[in-house]
Amino acid sequence: MTTAGTLRDRSVIVALTGGIACYKTATVVSRLAQAGAEVTVLMTDAATRFIGPLTLQSLSGRPVYTSQWQSIENHDAQHVQLARRASLMLIAPTSANTIAKLAAGICDNVVTTVACALPRSTPVLVAPAMNAEMWENPITQRNIATLRDVLNYHLIGPETGWQACRTQGAGRMSEPEAIVEMVKSLIG
């Protein structure tokens, strides 16, 4: 896969929320960095239980934010600075919990706080990942409609297939290659 330079001078926030699909996001971070993007990783506390920040720091070559209270790059309101310089924010995996928080405007972690601070012109791509019952829940579907119709977020997936709960159904996070291609189509 030759992608070098296609995202040069683009700042991409990759945010991970709690879910086994976090392992796929490591590949997304690597591919975006290889394509020349400046990748900044944000993780909820739940995401850090599935994959370590050090892995994503190594792949992105940048510090990883795991708290809305961190001031890594400067002493200003970090979430505002991150949001202002972003070309795109990708949330992958996006849990049902985070989808609900985004739809309701709840800003209680680094991912939801930065998402809320983004300029309206900055594209947000969500890659849902959850089991089929959670995905099909009418509240989740209402929240997805809010993200799409009110906040103008873009959606990739979810896919249908084998899930960690040992069942088949809709809810699998899209594959890394598809996510990277969607990022490129939105900002490349």
Q: Where are the beta strands (DSSP E) in 45-179?
A: 64-65, 88-94, 124-128, 154-155, 159-162, 168-172
Is residue 166 within 8 A of residue 144, CB to CB? The reply is no
Q: What is the pLDDT of residue 68?
A: 76
- The burial class, CB within 10 Å (0-12 / 13-18 / 19+), for 115 is buried
Q: What is the pLDDT of residue 188?
A: 72
Answer yes or no: 116 catalytic: no
Q: What is the pLDDT of residue 78?
A: 66
11-187 has CATH 3.40.50.12780 classification: no
Q: What is the pLDDT of residue 76?
A: 58
Residue-range domain boundaries for the chain: 11-187
Residue-wise pLDDT tens digits, 22-35: 999 999 999 999 99
Q: How far apart are CA 130 and CA 121, in angstroms?
A: 28
The backbone region for 91, taken as left when phi is positive above 0, alpha when psi lies in -120 to 50, beta otherwise, is beta
Dihedral sign (CA 141, 143, 148, 154): negative
Catalytic residue of the set 22, 107, 116, 165: 165
Q: How far apart are CA 73 and CA 71, in angstroms?
A: 6
Q: How far apart are CA 185 and CA 75, in angstroms?
A: 34
Which portions of the chain are predicted below pLDDT 70? 1-5, 69-79
Q: What are the tokens at 21?
A: 């699909």
Q: What is the pLDDT of residue 72?
A: 62
Q: Tell me the chain's radius of gyration from C-alpha atoms.
A: 15
Strands 159-162 and 64-65: what pairing? unpaired
